[in-house]
Amino acid sequence: MNSGNVLSTSYGKEDKIRPNVNDLLHFYKTKITSDPYLLTYNLLVFSLLPSELFGRLLYFCTMLNLRQLFLLNNAQTSPAPRLLEIERAEGIFLYDPKGKAYMDLVSGFAVSNIGHRHPRVIKAIKDQVDRYMHVTVYGEFVQAPQVLFAEKLISVLPDNLNSVYFVNSGAEATEGAIKLAKRFTGRSRIISCYNAYHGSTNGALSVMGNEYYKQAYRPLLPDVHFMHFNQPEDLNLIDSDTACVILETIQGEAGIRVPGRAYLQALRQRCDETGALLILDEIQTGFGRTGKLFAFEHFGIVPDILLLAKGIGGGMPIGAFIANRTVMDSFKENPVLGHITTFGGHPVSCAAGLATLEAILDENMIDGIGKKEALFRDLLNHPSVREVRGMGLMLGIQLSTFEQVQSVSRYCATKGIIVDWFLNDDTTLHISPPLTITEKDIREACKIFIEAVEKAE
């Protein structure tokens, strides 16, 4: 075989290139698979080959080099993705193609609250797929999964939250809620918090509280202002021109910051005094994660608009913003179709959502959350752990440096434990396992975590 990028070939009577298959496969194994850029070039070259040979090479490529294809064809969000290849998932575990198990201590980023592939969710999905999937845009046809899920949600919420608008994600819930608040109040001023995270679309990015992630995309929404989370003196920023205040009931990407009860009650009172709508983002905290079905229940307040997503779909994509019907009806006219979505409230996702909520309630998943939190706190007591913050199974493990965080995360991964850090706090590790995690699992995970911390010292 020739050196470099030249492939050995033979020429037939018609002078067509006929590459030697074994040479091609050897070249592919030894050269191309180690270099994604070379892979890109040679896939273009291979596309000129006879279709049968190209098909064999493409099949070979697909079967043995999924990571290279991922880097080649899938848009990337960072220069260094984790590249952990997952073949299947069950309960609190992810499995790679070789069968290695990884305990998912972040629940797919607060999505798999009831574990991966919960049997009730799988059954609900299969049953709904056998009936119908998408049939029309949101809000026109009566679709049982939407109706039943909305009814169940309203049954577990305070009386004033009685109108559900389903969307596809948390960011879309944020966008819809901001629009609704501006439309209902006729005001434009929006108050958010420093270090907040509500999604990455244009409007959601506008209320993100970290300029690093925003500066490349300005101009964003106008008249957005920021206050410090859990600091009562900043509540005076809320005035009679304010359409809404949006904040996470417990800040997530800030490294898990739990506010004081008195602060949230003062915030509720200030919104009432000024006529501003209070939007509580429970995209991460909802559906049992904090030891209550919704985190605002811990603080003795009720929002005007509630945001849900992530864990409400049992692994399927869905979000919602929920308000009083008198507020939500603002979307019905002047203009008509004030907020529309094609796939929002997808019947399969709604069926999965209803099954998820029923599983949480029927299987009493929330009952043991306090004990599990206490066990994590006890087992993570170590001189190098500066603080364990959070509530329920939404915990932030504060270390001293980002280098420690990286080291701990990498070591844990080698031992089959998935942890991660936060957008707005890179010295804190994120632990938010499925609610179904057992005491045995917690002990095993914490043992490995402490080993990782000690190696990082």
Reply yes or no: is the peptide bond before residue 335 cis, omega within 30 of 0: yes
The CA distance from 56 to 292, in Å, is 54
Read off the pLDDT of residues 106-147 as tens digits, 9 standing for 90 and up. Answer: 999 999 999 999 999 999 999 999 999 999 999 999 999 999
Nearest to 373 by CA among 310, 430, 425, 439: 439
The CA distance from 110 to 212, in Å, is 24
User: In this structure, what token pair is assigned to residue 51?
Assistant: 């279709």
b (16+ CB within 10 A) / e for 40-57: eebbeebeebeeeeeebb
User: In this structure, what token pair is assigned to residue 206?
Assistant: 């506008």
Q: Phi and psi at residue 164, in whole multiples of 5°?
A: -110, 130
What SS3 state is found at 28?
Answer: helix
For the chain, which domains are there? 9-73 (no CATH), 88-113+366-456 (3.90.1150.10), 119-362 (3.40.640.10)
pLDDT tens-digit profile, the chain (457 residues): 333 333 333 323 333 333 444 554 554 544 444 455 555 555 555 555 566 666 666 555 555 578 888 888 889 988 888 889 999 999 999 999 999 999 999 999 999 999 999 999 999 999 999 999 999 999 999 999 999 999 999 999 999 999 999 999 999 999 999 999 999 999 999 999 999 999 999 999 999 999 999 999 999 999 999 999 999 999 999 999 999 999 999 999 999 999 999 999 999 999 999 999 999 999 999 999 999 999 999 999 999 999 999 999 999 999 999 999 999 999 999 999 999 999 999 999 999 999 999 999 999 999 999 999 999 999 999 999 999 999 999 999 999 999 999 999 999 999 999 999 999 999 999 999 999 999 999 999 999 999 999 999 8
- Identity of the amino acid at 292: K
Q: What is the pLDDT of residue 13?
A: 35
Q: What is the pLDDT of residue 65?
A: 75
Q: What is the DSSP string of 410-444?
A: HHHHHTTEE-EEETTEEEEEEE---TT--HHHHHH
Residue 165 CB contacts under 8 Å (≥ 6 apart), including other chains? 176, 320, 321, 322, 323, 328, 331, 339, 344
User: In this structure, what token pair is assigned to residue 88?
Assistant: 């299947």
From the number of C-beta atoms within 10 Å of its C-beta (0-12, 13-18, 19+), residue 4 rates as: exposed
- Identity of the amino acid at 87: E
CB-hemisphere CA count at 13 Å for 151? 8
| Region class of 399: left (phi > 0), else alpha (psi between -120 and 50), else beta | beta
What SS3 state is found at 287?
Answer: coil
Q: What is the pLDDT of residue 19?
A: 44
pTM of the full predicted structure?
Answer: 0.86
CA torsion sign, 299 to 300 to 306 to 309?
A: positive
The CA distance from 334 to 273, in Å, is 27
Read off the pLDDT of residues 157-182 as tens digits, 9 standing for 90 and up. Answer: 999 999 999 999 999 999 999 999 99
Q: What is the pLDDT of residue 68?
A: 80
